[in-house]
Amino acid sequence: MVESLQDHLSGDAAHKAVQLLIPFPAPPSAVRRSWQSVFTLHTGRNSEKFVKHRVDANDMSAAFDRICSLGRDVDAIAFAPFGPKPISAAMCLYAEQCDSAVHYP
């Protein structure tokens, strides 16, 4: 799934920092998939363009609060949810409220 997200990230200069919500604590398999995805996104790109935020994999409220805090100082947010369902649901709720784009890989 991450490969389709890479298509949206053209070059380092073309985008601001990508905010990654990393599910933790989470089951070991989810943590492994998340870090493999982060590694794939980082490949060939400036790692300073990626900011990681830990969010409990099952806490939709905390994920929503984190997204709200990240969205305060930006004009528009585009979401690519491919993590645990509570975090993906928080992204979709925020997108609905703020008229943001949601892209499924």
User: Does residue 14 carry a pLDDT above 90?
Assistant: no
Q: Which residues pair with 101 in a beta bridge?
A: 78
**Degrees, nearest 5: CA angle 20-64-24:** 50
Query: What pTM value is reported for the model?
Result: 0.83
Q: Are strands 18-23 and 78-79 parallel, antiparallel or unpaired?
A: unpaired
Which helix (H) or strand (E) segment holds residue 39: the answer is helix 28-42
**Could you tell me the pLDDT band of residue 43, with boundaries at 50, 70 and 90?**
confident
Torsion of the alpha carbons at 46, 32, 87 and 27, rounded to the nearest 10 = -160
